[in-house]
Structure 1
Amino acid sequence: MIVFRVPPTAVERVGFSYSPTLEAVLSLHVLVEPKHHPVQHEWVRAMRRLSPALKREIDVFAFAYRAYFPEFFFPSAAGELLDFEGELRRLRSIDPELARLEFATPSIGPSDAVVAALLLDDPGALLERFLTLLEDYWEEAFAREWERIEPDLAASVSEAGRQIESDGLYALLRGLWPEVRCDAEQGRFWLDRPHDHEVQIGADDRLLLAPSTYVWPHVRVNCDAPWPLGLIFPASSIVREARPRIPPAQLVSVLRALADDTRLRALRLIAERPRTTQELAPLVGVTEAALSKQLRALADAGLLDRRREGYYVLYRLVPEQIEALAPSLGSFLSPAED
Structure 2
Amino acid sequence: MNMRVRLPASAVGAVVFGCSPALEALRSLHVLGSVRRHPLHISWALRTRERLDAELRNEIDQFAYWCQDRPLVLPHIWRPDEVSSWPEELAALREAPVEHYAEHLLAETLAVNGRLAPVRLEQVRADPALRQRAEDTVRKRHPASLRVLRELVEDPERSRKRFAEFLSAYWETCVAEEWPNLQRYLLADIAARSRAGVQDGMVRMLEGLAPQLRVVQEGTDVSITSTPARDGFAPLEITLTAQDRLLLVPSHFAWPLLTIGARREPRAGRDRQSVQITYALDAMQRTAQPPIPSEELLKLLRAAAHPTRLQILQLLAGRSRSTRELAGLIGLTEPAVSKHLKLLAEAGWAETERHSYYVYYRLVRATQGRFTDALDRLFG
TM-score (norm 2): 0.81
Tell me, yes or no, if structure 1 residue 202 matches structure 2 residue 241: yes
d(CA) in 1 for partners of 2:371 and 2:181?
35
Q: CA deviation at 1:113?
A: 4.3
Which AA in structure 1 matches 2:154? D
d(CA) in 2 for partners of 1:182 and 1:75?
28
Contact 1:9/1:168, CA 8 A, preserved across alignment: no
Q: CA deviation at 1:177?
A: 5.5
| Structure 2 counterpart SS, 1:3 | strand
d(CA) in 2 for partners of 1:320 and 1:81?
57
Q: 1:298 aligns with which of 314, 323, 344?
A: 344
Tell me, yes or no, if structure 1 residue 164 matches structure 2 residue 197: yes
Q: CA deviation at 1:209?
A: 0.4
Q: CA deviation at 1:128?
A: 2.4
Which AA in structure 2 matches 1:189? I
Match of 1:131? Answer: 164
- In structure 2, stretches of 5+ residues that fail to align are 110-136, 266-272
Which aligned runs of 4 or more in structure 1 are off by greater than 6 angstroms? none
Which AA in structure 1 matches 2:43? E
Contact 1:68/1:106, CA 8 A, preserved across alignment: no
Deviations, residues 62-95 of structure 1 (Å, cap 9, x unaligned):
1112233333268626x43222112112222332
d(CA) in 2 for partners of 1:195 and 1:317?
62
d(CA) in 1 for partners of 2:71 and 2:64?
10
Match of 1:183? Answer: 216
RMSD: 2.2
Contact 2:7/2:242, CA 8 A, preserved across alignment: no
Q: CA deviation at 1:299?
A: 1.5
d(CA) in 1 for partners of 2:298 and 2:192?
33
Deviations, residues 108-142 of structure 1 (Å, cap 9, x unaligned):
43634431222112223222222222211111121
| Structure 2 counterpart SS, 1:315 | strand
Which AA in structure 1 matches 2:71? F
Which AA in structure 1 matches 2:222? G
Q: CA deviation at 1:195?
A: 8.3
The 10-residue stretch of structure 1 (286-295 or 175-184) with the greater mean CA deviation from structure 2: 175-184
d(CA) in 2 for partners of 1:283 and 1:106?
75
Which AA in structure 2 matches 1:202? T
Match of 1:154? Answer: 187
Evaluate the alpha carbon distance shift between residue 67 and residue 162 of structure 1 in structure 2; reply closer, same or farther with a 3 A threshold.
same
Q: CA deviation at 1:105?
A: 2.8
| Structure 1 counterpart SS, 2:100 | helix
Deviations, residues 209-268 of structure 1 (Å, cap 9, x unaligned):
011111111111220134953111110010001011111111111122221111111111
Which AA in structure 1 matches 2:157? G
The 10-residue stretch of structure 1 (34-43 or 114-123) with the greater mean CA deviation from structure 2: 114-123
d(CA) in 2 for partners of 1:196 and 1:291?
61
* Percent pairwise identity: 33
Contact 1:75/1:228, CA 8 A, preserved across alignment: no
Contact 1:4/1:198, CA 8 A, preserved across alignment: yes
d(CA) in 1 for partners of 2:373 and 2:235?
53
d(CA) in 1 for partners of 2:147 and 2:69?
22
Contact 2:210/2:258, CA 8 A, preserved across alignment: no
Tell me, yes or no, if structure 1 residue 260 matches structure 2 residue 306: yes
Match of 2:360? Answer: 314
Tell me, yes or no, if structure 1 residue 141 matches structure 2 residue 143: no
d(CA) in 2 for partners of 1:75 and 1:256?
56
Match of 2:253? Answer: 214
Q: 1:76 aligns with which of 76, 79, 88?
A: 79
d(CA) in 1 for partners of 2:101 and 2:236?
22
Match of 1:27? Answer: 28
d(CA) in 2 for partners of 1:76 and 1:228?
11
Deviations, residues 299-319 of structure 1 (Å, cap 9, x unaligned):
222111223344322211111
Corresponding pairs, count: 333
Q: 1:224 aligns with which of 259, 263, 271?
A: 263
Q: 2:282 aligns with which of 225, 228, 236?
A: 236
Q: CA deviation at 1:38?
A: 0.8
Contact 1:275/1:316, CA 8 A, preserved across alignment: yes
- In structure 1, stretches of 5+ residues that fail to align are none
Which AA in structure 2 matches 1:120? V
d(CA) in 2 for partners of 1:140 and 1:89?
18
Deviations, residues 29-55 of structure 1 (Å, cap 9, x unaligned):
111111111111111211231212211
Which AA in structure 1 matches 2:326? L
Tell me, yes or no, if structure 1 residue 325 matches structure 2 residue 360: no
| Structure 1 counterpart SS, 2:178 | helix
